[in-house]
């Protein structure tokens, strides 16, 4: 994500000290090499996140903290392994008199999740392939409440409230453009199989992620840790196909798209794409995820400068070149 607003709120230019409200995305009690306890936080606001440490933690002095809580902190920004880290010096819970604007703390999709869900549901209703329509609509209905607000990930791309629907919707737009081009070259390409794969590829994120009331992922569920969304997604498809009496061929094709959408075993897919529609879904998923990560990394980067290293992009530094679409507008 980008740079937190909190980090721009410098209260002491000499010590690089900051102060403000933020949200606890996750927190763990740990022990350092000397045996002293400390709290390891991931703190977020609507613009970004940062790792933070509360050293020499004492529950009787500092209190207890959990994921999803709003806190006020004062601390100092340091660099650790080429990334900013916050050393917390003062910390407290939010109280009713603070009048905190929650919209500044919770990162959200730029488009409402309910609106995107309805667009997808209506789109699928117009499918000519009735098995694909029934299967996709069934799984959308069964998971509607979570789909409308869940993030797309815990830390990486689309890790914001409503990010799962936003990622899926953007992928569908790209897939429709790709199908428009390639169906003219390869008439056997099944457009609705591509769209089904796109809409269902991350359906099991609704099981994989432990998401709080604010729509941010706090951790992975036990199922998420043990099984992962790829295998769980295939299981959801298989179960739905059995309940709806969907043909074995359709079940196999959709299941394969879910199993292969990460492309290669190193990224978690037990199978590489083995037919064109699966290849399109995998390629579009990768492109959307990487572009999101790149533009997110560039949020706080000046023209002519590089971002910090991005773990989700093989530790690449991303360059802001300064060109834009507006540079090519016609006279």
HEC-encoded secondary structure of the chain = CECCHHHHCEEECCCCEEEEEEEEEEEEEEECCCCCEEEEEEEEECCEEEEEEECCCCHHHHCCCCCCCEEEEEEEEEEECCEEEEEEEEEEECCHHHCCCHHHCCCECCCCHHHHHHHHHHHHHCCCCHHHHHHHHHHHHHCHHHHCCCCCCCCCCCCCECHHHHHHHHHHHHHHHHHHHHHHHCCCCCHHHHHHHHHHCCCCHHHHEEECCCCCEEEECHHHHHCHHHHHHHHHHHHHHHHHCCCHHHHHHHHHHHHHCCCCHHHCCCCCCCCHHHHHHHHHHHHHHHHHHHHHHCCCCCCCCEEEEEHHHCCEEEECCCCCHHHHCCC
Whether residue 118 is contained in a domain is answered as yes
Q: Could you list the residue range(s) of the whole structural domain that residue 284 is in?
A: 113-293
**Judgement on whether residues 26 and 151 belong to the same structural domain of the protein:** no
| Predicted local distance difference test score (pLDDT) of residue 206 | 95
**Judgement on whether residues 210 and 92 belong to the same structural domain of the protein:** no
Q: Give the CATH number, domain containing residue 42.
A: 2.40.50.140
| Predicted local distance difference test score (pLDDT) of residue 134 | 98
**Judgement on whether residues 197 and 254 belong to the same structural domain of the protein:** yes
Q: Give the CATH number, domain containing residue 234.
A: 1.10.3210
**Judgement on whether residues 92 and 131 belong to the same structural domain of the protein:** no
pLDDT in tens, the chain (331 residues): 455 666 556 555 556 888 889 989 889 999 998 999 999 999 988 777 889 999 999 888 888 998 888 999 999 988 887 778 999 999 999 888 888 877 778 777 888 888 999 999 999 999 999 999 999 999 999 999 999 999 988 777 788 888 999 999 999 999 999 999 999 999 999 999 999 999 999 999 999 999 877 778 878 999 999 998 999 999 999 999 999 999 999 999 999 999 999 877 766 678 899 999 999 999 999 999 999 889 988 887 889 999 888 877 888 999 999 888 766 655 4
**Judgement on whether residues 152 and 196 belong to the same structural domain of the protein:** yes
**Judgement on whether residues 74 and 124 belong to the same structural domain of the protein:** no
* Domain boundary residue, one of 47, 77, 104: 104
Whether residue 330 is contained in a domain is answered as no
| Predicted local distance difference test score (pLDDT) of residue 208 | 94
**Judgement on whether residues 152 and 285 belong to the same structural domain of the protein:** yes
Whether residue 327 is contained in a domain is answered as no
Tally of domains in the chain: 2
């Amino acid at each position: 994500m980008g740079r937190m607003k909190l980090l721009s709120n410098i209260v002491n230019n000499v010590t690089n000290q900051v102060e403000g409200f933020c949200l606890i995305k996750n927190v763990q009690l740990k022990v350092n090499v000397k045996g002293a306890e400390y709290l390891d936080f991931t703190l977020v606001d609507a613009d970004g996140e940062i790792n933070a440490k509360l050293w020499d933690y004492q529950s009787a002095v500092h209190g207890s903290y959990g994921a999803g809580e709003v806190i006020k902190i004062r601390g100092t920004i340091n660099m650790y392994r080429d990334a900013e880290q916050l050393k917390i010096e003062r910390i407290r819970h939010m109280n009713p008199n603070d009048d905190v604007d929650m919209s500044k703390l919770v990162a959200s999709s730029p488009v409402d999740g309910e609106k995107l869900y309805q667009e997808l549901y209506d789109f699928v209703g117009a499918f000519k392939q009735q098995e694909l329509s029934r299967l996709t609509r069934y799984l959308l209905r069964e998971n509607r409440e979570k789909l409308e607000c869940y993030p797309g990930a815990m830390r990486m791309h689309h890790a914001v409230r409503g990010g799962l629907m936003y990622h899926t919707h953007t992928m569908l737009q790209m897939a429709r453009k790709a199908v428009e081009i390639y169906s003219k070259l390869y008439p056997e390409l099944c457009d609705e199989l591509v769209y089904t794969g796109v809409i269902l590829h991350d359906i099991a994120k609704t099981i994989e992620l432990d998401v709080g009331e604010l729509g941010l992922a706090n951790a992975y569920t036990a199922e998420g840790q043990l099984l992962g969304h790829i295998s769980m997604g295939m299981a959801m498809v298989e179960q739905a196909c059995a309940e709806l009496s969907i043909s074995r061929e359709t079940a196999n094709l959709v299941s394969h798209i879910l199993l292969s959408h990460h492309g290669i075993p190193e990224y978690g897919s037990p199978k590489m794409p083995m037919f064109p529609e699966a290849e399109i879904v995998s390629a579009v998923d990768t492109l959307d995820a990487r572009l999101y990560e790149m533009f997110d990394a560039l949020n706080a980067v000046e023209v002519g400068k590089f971002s910090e290293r991005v773990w989700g992009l093989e530790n690449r530094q991303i360059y802001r070149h300064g060109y834009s679409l507006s540079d090519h507008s016609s006279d």
